[in-house]
Structure 1
Amino acid sequence: MQNFSAREKFLITNTLNCLPVLLQGRAVLIDLHNETSVAGIINIADGHMTCELTDAVFIDRNGEQHAFDNFMVRNRMIRLLHLPADLDIRTELLQQQQKRSGRFKKTNTKRTFKQKRAEDRHKETLDHITKQQNDNK
């Protein structure tokens, strides 16, 4: 388990920056802002969406492929992160949300306004994903 800073923990729990962390150990395709792509297995991801890929293949603008053992993608270069087809993102996000809500139930601390708002936003995102999945069926 990685040690995340307080800022990274906030970003992972309150934004979709959690996706690369959830996808660690899986093969992904990442489109970059400079019209290139990189495919590989996410080895390390942090709360800022900086990803370190292993067994990576870099695809340049001309479609030529270049193999790399390790490849690092900075967060500001990521345009699009393709999710694997076999991943049920709704289930993954629900599990993560339950982990967070379980923390508050075990302690006697009250949730702050920001925590409540973040939880509401995550619920809205999950509802939106569920609605899209139901529309596609």
Structure 2
Amino acid sequence: MNNRSTKIPACAHLKTLPLGQQLHGYIIRSHFDDNMFIASSLVNMYAKCGNIKVAKLIFDRMKQHDLVTWTAMIMGCALHEHSHDAISLFRKMETEGFKPNSVTFVAVLTACSHAGMVNKGLNFF
């Protein structure tokens, strides 16, 4: 399974959504969709490819999240005109006890930048 799980980030990086969707189907058929690391990779892939709806669906179905999953979802929203959702996710992540790292801050600042929320960005900074 390691070989397939490494292909998911490649699909996200290359933005090859059709291949990623095929891998997602394989993951579901093989019952690997409850694996947190694979689910995080799927969230990242769909978010980077601009399919925020599916990324959020997978994110919401996950039993637990890690900082990577939160950051992928926040950045995906930030990059694809869902800035308010990104900021809301950032706040929820903090509420759930996760401490943001530099990548997470870049994601929330990107959301502020794309929405023209300079003051809010300064508050996060």
TM interval, shorter chain, is: 0.3 to 0.5
TM-score, structure 1 normalization: 0.31
Q: Structure 1 or 2: larger helix share?
A: 2
User: Rg bigger for which structure?
Assistant: 1
Normalised TM-score (structure 2): 0.33
